[in-house]
A and B are shown apart, each in its own frame.
Chain A
Amino acid sequence: MATGFDSRVVEYDVRTDEMLVNMGPQHPSTHGVLRLVLRTDGEIVSEVTPHIGYLHRCAEKIGENLTPRQWIPYTDRMDYLAGMNMNLGWSLAVEKLMGLQLPDKARHLRVIIAELGRIASHLVGMGAYGLDLGTFSPFLYAFREREKILDLFEEVCGARLTYSYITPGGATADLPPGWIGRCEAFLNELVPIISDYHNLLTSNAIFIKRTCGIGVLSAEMAIDYGCSGPVLRGSGVDYDLRRDGEERYTEMYDGYSFEVIAERDGHYPKDHQYPKVPQDAVLGDCWHRFYVRMLEVMQAIDLLRQGFDRYSAATGDWGTPIKLTQKLPKGEAYLETEAPRGQMGFYLVSDGSSIPWRVRARSSSFCNLSVTHEICRGVPIADVPAIVGSLDIVMGEIDR
């Protein structure tokens, strides 16, 4: 039996090593081909480094060889979940350079299409977020409704994913007869289903536990990192380009009444109809970003209903698309629009020919993703998909 302290006996603490783990590019919850290199200490992530570019095809270089109308299909493939909004952003930028003014009917048509696209995009965002948290059913419920929107889009332009519908100068066609009625019927179906989504996710106890206080992004940091869209508004910044953007874009929404979805004095606009903000929720966390998206769906429905009457009342045509080889005036124009994922900017420089000298796409997801390494520091591995999912990124748009 040893008596007293034996100096030869050294007490070893359990030695642990940090581990580098590749999350992606083939990982089920990185929304495409995002690669995150995680430095982990057990389950705790000490550092996240995003690696992007797996989907890069240099759309900007392609744009330097095509006329603006020829480049529209390439905008579809940026944020492929909201192709209509991408078309709109590019078309408005080209119109800004050309100084085109659109007839009233085209304006309301664009509002309808853009807001419908926003609903379709947010439905995927919502469903995929459920998937990131390990629940599969909301995803399929979301796609069930999205399919109906795609049916409507198919009627309008013949495509279900890459529309190329909105063009500089208007759109490729008018809405088909009776379409407004079908769209209205769809909205009436959708509204009660939204409360199902709220039951399954927004107010679900486990969902709240998984999202509240996770990935808190302060307003200052959100602005500093150029975050936009629901990510910015989820941090409590009252900024929406549909209201605060350039006149060329905001005039599209002239006469429409809507409130920007952002928390003011602890309340969201019209939030008495929806689940209450849970006590654990911190402004700027995953729950708030999700909630902003859910409320924006309702906002979009509201805007659509306003748009139907205005569109039906409007006279004139839906605009004339510019010619395929339309000469562009010399100059440059930059325009940002409020796409579902944030501020999507298009910049084009023209030397007077029909092909732009330089085309630039400012991607919202690109900036939103750049904040990952800040808000993923020190969280468990399970929260990494939860945080990245709440940013609702689309790799096609990030990598362009």
Chain B
Amino acid sequence: MSEKSLLQLLQSRFGNVVTGGDADAIDPWIQVEPQSLLNVCTYLRDDNKLRFDLLNCITGVDYFEPDAKKAAKSPWQPHTELVYHLSSIALKHTLVIKVVLPRWKNDQEGSLPEVDSVSSVWRTADWHEREVYDLSGIFFQGHPDLRRILCPEDWVGHPLRKDYQMPLEYHGIRGR
């Protein structure tokens, strides 16, 4: 199935839930509303024509420019993107899903944005979501065991956010 027809299929199936997409990008992608991510993912995995049985990767991308001068010139509003790379071992095609989230929930600094966990769809999402939570600071609702995975459990902050500051010291170890 070609990327374009895939996008059309999804857009017709889910309508307004699929809010955007680019079939001409290097990796064609679709943008999905955060509320219906779980539904879309379940459909993508279970539909016979799609069968996306493998979740390759989940990436959190933080769009934020800490430097105020540069921020004024940046083409986007500050936000966070979740990128899901899917592929199908059975049918050998790939798809990229993007979910756009605010950087902070309700614009309150410190409260993490929330999205549904897809660990019930692909179990590999368990560790990937823990990693995204740990490094990019996105909370996954319905995750069975959302703990930090790479950083120590008492680490403060989420290193892959652009405004992250390395702590001055951690248990007596100098940070910077």
Within 8 A of B (CB), among A25-81: 52-53, 56, 58, 60-61, 64
Task: State whether the Cβ of B71 lies closer than 8 Å to any Cβ in chain A.
Answer: no
Interface string of A367-400 (1 = CB under 8 A from B): 1001000000000000000000000000000011
Within 8 A of B (CB), among A142-195: none
Task: State whether the Cβ of B34 lies closer than 8 Å to any Cβ in chain A.
Answer: no
The residue from A60, A357, A367 contacting B124, defined by CB atoms under 8 A apart: A367
Contact: B122 with A226, CB < 8 Å? yes
Contact: A333 with B54, CB < 8 Å? no
The residue from A224, A332, A345 contacting B57, defined by CB atoms under 8 A apart: A345
Contact: A53 with B149, CB < 8 Å? yes
Contact: A336 with B56, CB < 8 Å? yes
**Minimum C-beta distance from A35 to chain B (A):** 12
**Minimum C-beta distance from A335 to chain B (A):** 9
The complex places the Cα of A182 from the Cα of B55 at a distance, in Å, of 42
Contact: A52 with B96, CB < 8 Å? no
Contact: B135 with A347, CB < 8 Å? no
The complex places the Cα of A60 from the Cα of B26 at a distance, in Å, of 21
Taking each of B124, B126, B152, which has the highest tally of chain A beta carbons within 10 Å of its own beta carbon?
B124
The residue from A223, A345, A400 contacting B89, defined by CB atoms under 8 A apart: A223
Within 8 A of A (CB), among B103-147: 122-124, 126-128, 131, 135
Residues of A within 8 A of B151 (CB): 53, 56
Contact: B135 with A226, CB < 8 Å? no
The complex places the Cα of A221 from the Cα of B54 at a distance, in Å, of 11
**Minimum C-beta distance from A263 to chain B (A):** 15
Residues of A within 8 A of B21 (CB): none
Task: State whether the Cβ of A141 lies closer than 8 Å to any Cβ in chain B.
Answer: no
Residues of A within 8 A of B31 (CB): none
Task: State whether the Cβ of A116 lies closer than 8 Å to any Cβ in chain B.
Answer: no
Taking each of B92, B127, B151, which has the highest tally of chain A beta carbons within 10 Å of its own beta carbon?
B127
Task: State whether the Cβ of B159 lies closer than 8 Å to any Cβ in chain A.
Answer: yes
The residue from B53, B128, B159 contacting A223, defined by CB atoms under 8 A apart: B53
Contact: B96 with A334, CB < 8 Å? yes
The complex places the Cα of A224 from the Cα of B164 at a distance, in Å, of 33
Contact: B61 with A53, CB < 8 Å? no
Interface string of A275-291 (1 = CB under 8 A from B): 00000000000000000
Interface size class of A (residues with CB under 8 A): 35 or more
Contact: B160 with A61, CB < 8 Å? yes
Contact: B26 with A347, CB < 8 Å? no
Task: State whether the Cβ of B42 lies closer than 8 Å to any Cβ in chain A.
Answer: no
Task: State whether the Cβ of A349 lies closer than 8 Å to any Cβ in chain B.
Answer: yes
Q: Which residue of A lies closest to B98 (CB)?
A: A332
The residue from A61, A332, A370 contacting B127, defined by CB atoms under 8 A apart: A370
Task: State whether the Cβ of A331 lies closer than 8 Å to any Cβ in chain B.
Answer: yes
Taking each of B92, B149, B159, which has the highest tally of chain A beta carbons within 10 Å of its own beta carbon?
B149
Interface string of A212-240 (1 = CB under 8 A from B): 00000000010111100000000001010
Residues of A within 8 A of B85 (CB): 334, 345, 347, 362
**Minimum C-beta distance from A227 to chain B (A):** 8
Residues of B within 8 A of A334 (CB): 27, 56-57, 83, 85, 96
Within 8 A of B (CB), among A343-374: 343, 345, 347, 349, 357-358, 360, 362, 366-367, 370
Q: Report, nearest first, the 4 A-B pairs whose CB atoms are least far apart.
A: A226-B124, A362-B57, A53-B150, A56-B150
16 contacts between A and B (CB under 8 A): A53-B148, A53-B149, A56-B151, A60-B160, A61-B159, A61-B160, A61-B164, A225-B123, A334-B27, A334-B83, A334-B85, A334-B96, A347-B57, A367-B127, A370-B126, A399-B150
A residues adjacent to B (C-beta < 8 A): 52-53, 56, 58, 60-61, 64, 96-97, 221, 223-226, 237, 239, 244, 246, 331-334, 336, 343, 345, 347, 349, 357-358, 360, 362, 366-367, 370, 399-400
